[in-house]
Amino acid sequence: MTRGSNKRVSQAARGELPPLRGIIYARASQDRKGRSISVASQVTAGRRFFKKHNIVVVAVLVDNDLSASRYAKHERQDYKEALRLLVTGDAKLLWTWENSRATRELDTFVELRSILIKVGGYWAYDDRIYDMNDPDDRIDTAEDAVDSERESEKLRKRVRRGVETRAYAGDPHGPKWWGHNRVFDRTGVVTVEIDPVTGPLAAELVRRLLGGENETVIANDFNRREIPCMHEKKWTAFHTRKLYDLARDPLSWAKLTAQLDADQMESAVTALLWLNERESPSVVARRLNQDEAAHVFPGVWTNAKVRSIALNPSLAGLRVHQGEIIGKGNWKGVIKPSEHHRVKAKLNDPARNTRKDGDRIKHLLSGILLCGQCEGGTTAIETGHRNAYRCKRNHASRAKPKTDAFVVEAVLSRLERPDAIELFRTHTDAEDELQKAVEAAQELRARLDGFTDKAAEGALSPERLARIESKLVPQIEAAEQRARQIGVAPLLNDIIGPNARKAWTKLTLVQKREVLRAIVRPRLLPTESRGRAAFDPNAIEVTWLPFHPRATELSKAS
């Protein structure tokens, strides 16, 4: 049982001293089916050991389905409680099935050993009691702890090699995604196929975003059309309690299960089994999330869910490993890779948050037309007798219908010219350039934000910040403008040439605004006349934005 020098344990076992007070601690790293076989067996063995050696059970603590390695994602609450009972003196002995059940990390072992040395405690595992004040016992437990950490590291390396091999082979990984289905053959080999219902909807979602609509507009439309949303991802105690209540009513349970697929049904049954074993709703929810169990309750479409689907590279048949696209997956995408890169750049555009285009936008030039005197924005005013664009500082105003018509005519006339193709056309597959432009803008903005924070903390003078801003802001604006232009290029390519006017009429208001933002900057110039003077085309300046690397040269030649 223990070394002969440990008289306290032997005397307690023989009843010559008050019995030791101990903790039974059980842990299992994985319990995917929720049967708790491993921890139950550990607890049974622990009780036999305590009875054999006349040890009083202070507490039985269990951390099921939780890792004890340094790579664990969740804290072991019951293990923390075991340490607390040892520190307070409520218990003198910790029992575990084996050394690794307490820890697979040397730092954690040292913490446990220090506590037991301080309180004069014991650690029992493998049918033996170790006295942490005995140097030989400390060495034995330390060697076992080193072996446990080594085995943990070996296991992790094997898992990582397997995951990496499957990744570069293009095999799917992780939970299934909206737009595709997984099909298993008799040998267990999985293939990914386009879902006949959600696949076309995922493609529609992405292409509508590329067409200029925003996430909220699409979410509202999908909810209005009663398109089934992808299920919620994170389980909560509310969900598990709701599931338990539904299961108690046969009619409600039948309605729910009729809508579930095989994975969702397994999640529901597993959750009920755990709840019937008197696990708390919050614990059941945590275990379901650890298992990445399929959610049984449908969600409501939101802008965040639309964005999440649109940004998934798997929709384009691309394989991701450790957050990076590493190549083509072994499945057909519902969209093209170029479309994925374009929508990613569009949604990650730092300047996009300053634009409010959506189903509420009504005016072609609001936010695009500037005041030539203050360079500020203009707003549209519609009253019973007034329909105009006006500088927000009241420097100038113009009749809205005539201003719209003038700017559109200038743009379409330019796009119809023979050199427009050379000046404005961009390759539609320029996703690499697009991604670089967006990343450059994000990096520059992050740098500027860092300097601004330092100035706010007093670590940077206002003068120094102003000098930095004067250099970074133009670079940010140029990078954001370039990203915007490449992103809108496929749309712009369709309206270049002799059919520009016909193609323009087919664009939505949001698409027209995207085109204008990419190629032109109109301004209202101040005039000497006051009141309702006749519309003066010369009081509107149209500046062409650099689009082609040779834009300045080509513009002069024209």
Closest to 544 measured CA to CA, from 473, 481, 476, 493:
481
- Residue 4's pLDDT is 41
316 shares its domain with 362: no
Residue-wise pLDDT for 139-194, tens only, equals 999 888 888 878 767 776 776 777 777 778 888 877 778 899 888 777 666 788 99
340 shares its domain with 213: yes
Beta strands 520-524; 370-371: pairing state: parallel
230 close to 305: Cβ distance less than 8 angstroms: yes
186 belongs to a structural domain = no
Q: Tokens for 530?
A: 């006051």
Q: What is the DSSP letter of 33?
A: T
382 belongs to a structural domain = yes
Instruction: At 284, give phi and psi (nearest 5°).
Output: -60, -40
Residuewise pLDDT in 10s, the chain (558 residues): 444 445 556 655 666 567 889 999 988 765 444 444 467 788 888 999 999 888 999 999 988 755 444 444 457 788 889 999 999 999 999 999 888 877 777 788 889 999 999 999 999 998 889 998 899 998 999 888 888 878 767 776 776 777 777 778 888 877 778 899 888 777 666 788 999 999 999 999 998 888 778 888 899 999 998 887 766 678 888 889 999 999 988 888 888 888 888 888 988 999 998 888 778 888 888 888 877 788 888 778 888 889 989 999 999 999 888 778 888 888 999 999 888 888 887 787 665 555 555 556 788 998 889 998 888 888 888 876 778 898 888 888 888 999 999 999 999 998 888 877 777 765 545 556 666 776 777 788 888 888 888 888 888 888 888 888 888 888 887 777 676 666 666 667 778 888 889 989 988 888 888 888 878 889 998 876 655 567 788 889 988 877 654 444 434 434
Closest to 418 measured CA to CA, from 356, 496, 359, 471:
496
Residue-wise pLDDT for 373-384, tens only, equals 888 888 888 876
Burial of 4 (C-beta count, 10 Å sphere; 0-12/13-18/19+)? exposed
Task: State how far the Cα of 263 lies from the Cα of 260, in Å rounded to an integer.
Answer: 8
Task: State how far the Cα of 424 lies from the Cα of 551, in Å rounded to an integer.
Answer: 8
- Identify the CATH number of the domain in which residue 118 sits: 3.40.50.1390
509 belongs to a structural domain = yes
Residue-wise pLDDT for 322-359, tens only, equals 778 888 888 999 999 888 888 887 787 665 555 555 55
157 shares its domain with 222: no
Per DSSP, what are the bridge partners of residue 522?
542
316 shares its domain with 462: no
176 belongs to a structural domain = no
The reply to whether the predicted model has a pTM over 0.85 is no
| CA distances in angstroms from 227 to 215, 300, 315, listed in the order given | 15, 10, 18
Helix (H) or strand (E) holding 378: strand 378-382
Q: Pick the last residue of a domain from 305, 331, 347.
A: 347
529 shares its domain with 383: yes
Residue 414 belongs to what domain range?
A: 352-557
457 close to 415: Cβ distance less than 8 angstroms: no
169 belongs to a structural domain = no
Contacts of residues 274-278 at CB distance under 8 Å and 24 or more positions apart, as own/partner, are: 274/34, 275/240, 275/243, 275/244, 277/36
Region for 231 from its dihedrals, namely left if φ exceeds 0, alpha if ψ lies in -120 to 50, beta otherwise: beta
Q: What is the CA radius of gyration of the chain?
A: 34
Task: State how far the Cα of 490 lies from the Cα of 486, in Å rounded to an integer.
Answer: 8
Helices 77-88 and 106-119 pack at an angle, to 10 degrees, of: 20
Burial of 305 (C-beta count, 10 Å sphere; 0-12/13-18/19+)? buried
336 shares its domain with 390: no
**Total domains present in the chain:** 3
204 belongs to a structural domain = yes
458 belongs to a structural domain = yes
Q: Pick the last residue of a domain from 284, 318, 347.
A: 347
DSSP 191-234: EEEE-TTHHHHHHHHHHHHHTT--HHHHHHHHHHTTPPPPBPSS
Residue type, 210: L
Q: Tokens for 423?
A: 């000046």
Contacts of residues 496-505 at CB distance under 8 Å and 24 or more positions apart, as own/partner, are: 496/415, 496/420, 496/421, 496/424, 496/425, 497/415, 497/416, 497/420, 497/421, 498/416, 500/412, 500/415, 500/416, 501/412, 501/416, 504/408, 504/412
Instruction: At 26, give phi and psi (nearest 5°).
Output: -120, 140
Specify the residue for token string 């056309």.
Answer: 425
| CA distances in angstroms from 29 to 124, 187, 340, 402, 536, listed in the order given | 20, 27, 37, 71, 77
112 shares its domain with 37: yes
271 shares its domain with 311: yes
280 shares its domain with 428: no
- Residue 92's pLDDT is 92
124 close to 160: Cβ distance less than 8 angstroms: no
430 shares its domain with 307: no
452 belongs to a structural domain = yes
Beta strands 128-131; 122-125: pairing state: antiparallel
75 shares its domain with 54: yes
Q: Pick the last residue of a domain from 347, 370, 405.
A: 347
Specify the residue for token string 């170029």.
Answer: 338
Specify the residue for token string 């050993």.
Answer: 113
323 shares its domain with 360: no
- Residue 16's pLDDT is 58
